[in-house]
Amino acid sequence: MAAALRKAMSFNSKTARWVNAWLLLSPAAVLMVAFTHFPIVGGFFASFFSTARPGRPSRFVGVENYTSMLNDPVFWQVLGNNFFYALGTIPLSVSLALLMAVWVNGRFRGRAVVRAAYFTPTILPMIAVANIWLFFYTPQIGLLDKIRSLFGLASHSWLGDPGTALACLMVLAVWKDAGFFMIFYLAALQAIPPELEEAAVIEGAGRWYFFRRITVPLLMPTTLFVVVNATIHSFKLVDHIFILTKGGPDNASSLLLYYIYEVAFSFWDTAYASTLTVVLLAILGALAVGQFAYLEKRVHYR
Amino acid sequence: MIRGVDEGERLEMLAAWLLAFLWAAPLLYAAWAAFHPMDFVSRFDLRAPLTLDNFRSAWKVAPFARYFLNTFLLVCMTLAGQLIVCTLAAYCFARFEFPGKNVAFLLVLVQIMIMPDVLIVQNYLTTSRLGLVDTILGIGLPYMGSAFGIFLLRQAFKQVPQELEDAARVEGAGWLSILLKVYVPLTRPTYLAYGLVSVSYHWNNFLWPVVITNSTTTRPLTVGLSIFGAPESGVNFSVISAGTLLAVSPLLIAFLLFQRQFVQSFMRSGIK
Amino acid sequence: MKQKWMRVLGGLVLAVVLGATAASAAVELNMYYPVAVGGPITKIIDDMIAEFEKTHPAIKVKAVYAGNYDDTRVKALAALKANQPVQLSVLFSIDLFELMDQDVIVPFDDLATSAEDKQWLSSFYPALMQNSKAKGKIWGIPFQRSTIVMYHNKEAFKEAGLDPNKPPATWKEMAEMGQKLTKKDASGNVTRWGVLIPSTGYPYWMFQAFCIQNGRELMNQDGNQTYFDRPEVVEALQYWRDLAAKYKVMPEGTVEWGTLRQKFLEGATAIMWHTTGNLTAVREGAKFDFGVSMLPANKRRGSPTGGGNFYIFKKASAEERQASLQFIKFMTSPEMTARWSMATGYVATSPAAYKTATLEKYIADFPAAAVARDQFEYSVAELSVHENARVKKFLDDAIQSVLTGAKSPQDALSGAQQQAERVLKSYR
C-alpha cells in the first residue's frame, strides 16, 4: 500500500487527478457531511445531554434520556404503532403494485387511462390528499359513512376510534404508494423477454403457473428494492398525520417521526427528540445492514 | 395478449378498471366538491349547479399566489443545486481513481437509507446557526447534496464509452468541457428522469418545510395548504377542496400531459 | 430575505442618526398572528392594520398568519430563536408561563406607565385578565378571546317536542333532552346525535368547562400545580364519558374539532359545544333557526375563557416596544373591539366595547352575540401551567383514552396527574 502510494505520488499527473477528484467531490461532500453525517453523529452526542432551558444550561446526563425513553409509555406506543403500520401497509401496497403492473403491462383499450389513475396519487402531495381523505372519514356527513348508510350501517368515528384511526392512515398510505411501486414492477416486467411466455404457452403452462413460477422469481430483486423502499417510507412519511389525526386519539395513530416532531418542536425538548431520533436511525441502519446481508446471500443482483 | 380474450381475462380487466376508478375516486370527489356549492358536498345530484365561488374564496383567504411562487423558487433552486453538485460528484465517482474513493462512496450511500427528512432535529439547529431559518435556501439546502442523484448519474456516466472521453482528451479538451460536451448530452434521459423525480419530490415535501418556515414569504404550497386545511374554527369542505385542487393542479396537469415521460422517469430512477 | 435584513438594518441606522427625531422614522413591527385561514379573519386584521397605519404613519405593522395557536407559538418562538425581527404577537393566552420560562416577553406594567395607560390596563373584563397575570404583573392583553357556548338547532328541538327556547340548563337536562333529540332511522342507526362536544384539537378546554361546572379548577394561579386526580375532576370526566356510554346521546370515540361546525350545519347533531369564535360562521351557514346559550351547570355554571392575547417580546427595542404598545392600544380600543367582535364572533374584551352604539345595535338584532359576555360572570382562566404544551398533552391523552373507552376516568387522570407532577415539581 505504502509503496503504491509512493509510486502514485511520483506521478505528478496522478496527484493532480486526485486533487481534481476531491475538488469535484467537495461541494457534495460539504453538503452531505453538514446535513447527513454531522446530524447523525451530533444527534447521538446530544442524546447524552439535557435540553438547555433559560436559567438551566445543558449538562451531561449520561443515559438519563434513554432511561426516561424506556419509561415513556408514548414512546413504546408510537414504536408499536410504527411496526404495525409497516406490517400493515407494506405487503398490501407491494402486492397491489405487482397486480397493477401486471394489468397495465397487458395490452387493452384504455390502458393509459388505467395506468394514469394508478399513478396519479404518487405525484400529489400527501398533505393535499390528506385534506381530501379527511372528509371521507368524517363521521355521519363524510363520504364513507354516507355510503355505509345506504347499506343501513351505523356511522362510525373512523379517526376518533383508536381501533380504526391508524388503519385509516394505512389505507391512505397504501393508496398513495401502490402506484409508485407499480412503476418499478412495470420496468422489471418489460425487461422479461416475451419469448419466455410464448415458450411457456407452447409447453402448455397456464398463465397463473407462469406468473407464479417464472415471473415472480424473476421479479425478486425488484421486490426486494420495493420492500426496502416501502419500509423506509413507513418510517419517514408522516405528513398525513398532521391533517388527519395529529396522532390521536390518545396517541393511537402517532408514528415515531411524528412523535419526534412533537417533542422537538412543540415541547422544545431537543435532547429527548435526539434520543428518539437515535432509535429511528438504528432501525433504518438495521434495515440497510439486513438488505445488504440478504443481497449477498440470496439475490443475484446486477 | 397471445390468446384471445377469454372470460377470465375479461373479468380481470373489469377488476383493473374498478381499481382504477377506486384510485381516481378521491380526486374526482374533490373536484365534485370544489365545483359545487357547499350543500352538495355529499349529495350527488347531476343537476347540481356548477360554481367557481369556492375557488374564488380559497384564492381570497390564503395567499396562494405567494405559495406558488415560493414553491416554484424552491423547486428550481433545489434542482439547480442538485444538478451541479451531483454532476460533479458523479463524474468523480465514475471516472476518477483516488484514495478514499470506496469509503467516500459508502458514505454517500448512507444517505440513500437515511435522508435528511428524518434528521429534522439536528438539521434545524444547523440551519438556525447558519441563519437560514425561514428562507427558501434553508428549505432546499439539505437536499442539494443528493446521494440519489449522485448514484443515478454515476451509473449513467459509467455507461458512456471511455473511448469518447479519450478522443476528446486527445483533442485537448479539459475535464469540464469533456463533462459538458460528452457526458451531459449523452445522459440527457437520466437528467430528465432525475429532474422530474426531484421536482415532484420537493413540490410535495412537507415535514422539513413546515419545520423551517415561519412566514408567508417562504412557505411552500404544502405548508400553506396544511394551514389552510386545518383552521382554528372549523372547515368548509368545498373551499378546502378548491384550495387543494389549486395547489395540485400544476403538477397534475403536467403529469396528465406528459404521462409517458413521468412514468418512464420514475421507472428509470428505480433501476439500480 | 436579505432585502428585509437590509431594510431593518437601514431602519436601525436611520434611527440612530436621527436620534431625537427618531419618532419620525418609520418603525417596522412584525407580528405573528394565529388565524383560521379558512375564514375571513386575515382580511379583517389587515383592514384594521391599514387603518392604524393611516393614523400612525410612523409605524408599519406586518402580520404573519401562522395557523392555529400551537403552530403560531412554535413559529414565533422559532423566529425569536433564529434572531429574526418579531416584536409582538398574538399567541395563546395559556402560553403565558411557557413564554415567561423562555424569557421572551416583557410585562405591560413596565411599558404602560402613564395614568391613561394604567386606566387602559384595567379596562378589560377581569375573567379575561386571569390568564394575563403572573408574579404580580400583567403580561398579556386580551384580544382574540372566546369562551365555550352551546349552540342548538331549534328545529330539532321542535321536532323532538321540546321548547326550542329552553336549551338544557343542567347536566341532567342535557342528558335527558339529548336522548329525546337523538334520532334514529329505520335500521336503528343514529342520523342525528343529541349532543356533540369536540374532543380533538383542544380536549382539555372542553373538559375544563365540565370541571368548573363541577366546582373544581384544574390548576393553581402560579401554574405549577395541577389537580387532575381530584374526585370532582374524575366525576366530570365520568359524565362526559357517560354521554356516549350511558346516555347514548353522543357517539363512541372522539369528536373531531375541525369538522364539527359543518356537522352542526348539516343537522347531524342537535346541540354542539364550540367556541364563540364560530358564531359568525354558524350564523352565515345555518339554514335553520339556531340558538346560543350558556353551558349547562352542575354544581355551578362555568366555562373557561380561551383564545389569544397580545404579547410584546423582549427582543424589541425600547422604541419598538412603545410602537407595539400604541398598536395594541389601538386594536383594543372600544370601537375596534366592537368591530372585531361583530365581524368574527369573538367576544369583545371590555365592557366599554359593549357600550358602543354599533355593538349595542348588533346585539339588539342578534342577542346570541351577548351570551358569551353574560357568561363572563361565571368564567375562569383556561388551563395554563409551566411547560404547558407537554402538560396539556398528558391531560388530552387521558381524556381521549377515557372517551374511547380504553381507560377508566380514575386511572387515566391519576396517570396524567403523576406525569404532570414529574414535570411541574421543579417549578415550585
Reported as a single tens digit per residue, the pLDDT across C153-211 is: 999 999 999 999 999 999 999 999 999 999 988 888 888 999 999 998 889 999 999 99
Please give the pLDDT value at position A12.
58
Domain that holds residue A189: 73-271
Enumerate residues 101 to 140 of chain A having a beta carbon within 8 A of any beta carbon in chain B. 103-104, 106-108, 110, 112-136
Give the mean pLDDT of C280-292. Answer: 89
3 state SS of C86: coil
A280 lies in a domain? no
B111 lies in a domain? yes
CATH code where residue A97 lies: 1.10.3720.10
CB pairs under 8 A between A and B: 275
Global pTM? 0.85
Q: Does A299 have pLDDT greater than 90?
A: no
B72 lies in a domain? no
Q: Does C57 have pLDDT greater than 70?
A: yes
Give the one of C102, C187, C193 whose C-beta lies nearest to A152's C-beta. Answer: C187
Share of chain B above pLDDT 70, in %: 94
CA distance C365 to C385: 40
Spatial contact of A149 and A155, defined as CB atoms under 8 Å apart: yes
Give the mean pLDDT of A85-113. Answer: 91
Which residues does chain B have within 8 Å of residue C81's beta carbon, measured at their own beta carbons?
128, 133
Greater pLDDT, C13 or B138: B138
What residue spans of C19-68 are helical by DSSP H?
A: 41-55
Q: Does C236 have pLDDT greater than 60?
A: yes
Please give the pLDDT value at position C12.
46
* Residues near A75 by beta carbon (within 8 Å), at least 6 away in sequence: A69, A259, A276
Greater pLDDT, C70 or C110: C110
Please give the pLDDT value at position C43.
82
Task: Report DSSP letters for A221-261, one per residue.
Answer: HHHHHHHHHHHHHHHH--HHHHHHTTT-STTTT--HHHHHH
Please give the pLDDT value at position B71.
95
Which range (A90-104, A171-185, B17-31, B55-69) has the least confidence? B55-69
Which residues does chain A have within 8 Å of residue C260's beta carbon, measured at their own beta carbons?
none
Residue A228 and residue A108 share a domain: yes
Give the mean pLDDT of C329-334. Answer: 93
Q: Where is A169: in which H helix or E strand? A: helix A165-191
For A60-81, the pLDDT digits (tens) are 998 999 999 999 999 999 999 9
Q: Does B37 have pLDDT greater than 90?
A: no
Which residues does chain C have within 8 Å of residue A246's beta carbon, measured at their own beta carbons?
200-201
B265 lies in a domain? yes
Enumerate residues 13 to 52 of chain A having a beta carbon within 8 A of any beta carbon in chain C. none
pLDDT bracket for residue A257 (50, 70, 90): very high
Q: Where is C153: in which H helix or E strand? A: strand C141-153
Please give the pLDDT value at position B234.
62
Q: Does B2 have pLDDT greater than 60?
A: no
CA distance C42 to B61: 7
pLDDT bracket for residue C249 (50, 70, 90): very high
Give the mean pLDDT of B143-166. Answer: 91
For C251, the closest chain A residue by CA position comes to: A157
Spatial contact of C114 and C57, defined as CB atoms under 8 Å apart: no
Residue A244 and residue A131 share a domain: yes
Which residues does chain C have within 8 Å of residue A265's beta carbon, measured at their own beta carbons?
74, 78
Enumerate residues 130 to 189 of chain A having a beta carbon within 8 A of any beta carbon in chain C. 134-135, 138-142, 149, 152-157, 159-162
Q: What is the ipTM, given to two decimal places?
A: 0.89
Contact B234 C35 (CB under 8 A): no
Residue A227 and residue A164 share a domain: yes
Domain-terminating residue out of A46, A64, A82:
A46
Cis bond before residue B189 (omega within 30° of 0): no
Residue A8 and residue A132 share a domain: no
Give the mean pLDDT of B131-142. Answer: 92
Please give the pLDDT value at position B1.
43
Fold that domain C2-145+308-364 belongs to in CATH: D-Maltodextrin-Binding Protein; domain 2 (3.40.190)
Residue A256 and residue A108 share a domain: yes
Q: Does C60 have pLDDT greater than 60?
A: yes
B20 lies in a domain? no
Please give the pLDDT value at position C7.
54
What residue spans of A33-125 are helical by DSSP H?
A: 38-46, 64-70, 73-105, 111-123
Please give the pLDDT value at position B233.
54
Domain that holds residue B258: 77-270
Nearest CA among C360, C416, C361 for reference residue C391? C416
Residue A202 and residue A88 share a domain: yes
What residue spans of B48-132 are helical by DSSP H?
A: 53-61, 64-95, 101-113, 120-129
A293 lies in a domain? no
- Give the number of other Cβ atoms within 10 Å of residue C402's Cβ: 25
Give the one of B60, B128, B240 whose C-beta lies nearest to C81's C-beta. Answer: B128
What residue spans of chain B are helical by DSSP H?
A: 7-35, 53-61, 64-95, 101-113, 120-129, 136-144, 147-159, 162-170, 175-178, 184-186, 188-204, 207-212, 221-229, 237-257, 259-270
Residue A159 and residue A34 share a domain: no
Residue A88 and residue A232 share a domain: yes
Q: Does C346 have pLDDT greater than 70?
A: yes
pLDDT bracket for residue B43 (50, 70, 90): confident
Share of chain B above pLDDT 90, in %: 39
Contact C262 B237 (CB under 8 A): yes
B207 lies in a domain? yes
- How many domains does chain B divide into? 1
Give the mean pLDDT of A267-289. Answer: 92
Please give the pLDDT value at position C67.
75
Q: Does C254 have pLDDT greater than 50?
A: yes
Give the mean pLDDT of A91-98. Answer: 94
Q: Which residue has the cell 400529489?
A: A124
Spatial contact of C244 and C235, defined as CB atoms under 8 Å apart: no
Q: Does A300 have pLDDT greater than 50?
A: no
Fold that domain C147-305+381-427 belongs to in CATH: D-Maltodextrin-Binding Protein; domain 2 (3.40.190)
In chain C, CATH 3.40.190.10 covers: 2-145+308-364, 147-305+381-427
CA distance C20 to C162: 70
pLDDT bracket for residue C13 (50, 70, 90): very low
Q: Does C279 have pLDDT greater than 90?
A: no
Greater pLDDT, B245 or A140: B245
Which residues does chain C have within 8 Å of residue B228's beta carbon, measured at their own beta carbons?
37-38
CA distance A164 to A155: 13
Q: How far apart, in Å, are the Cα atoms of B127 and each of A237, B139, B204, C82, C284?
A: 21, 9, 21, 9, 45
CA distance C228 to C208: 10
Q: Does B123 have pLDDT greater than 50?
A: yes
For B175-231, the pLDDT digits (tens) are 888 889 899 999 998 999 899 889 989 999 999 999 998 878 899 999 988 887 665
Q: Does C219 have pLDDT greater than 80?
A: yes
CA distance B205 to B219: 12
- What does pLDDT average to over chain B? 87
CATH code where residue B112 lies: 1.10.3720.10
- What does pLDDT average to over chain C? 87
CA distance A54 to C359: 44
- How many domains does chain A divide into? 2
Please give the pLDDT value at position B89.
94
A78 lies in a domain? yes
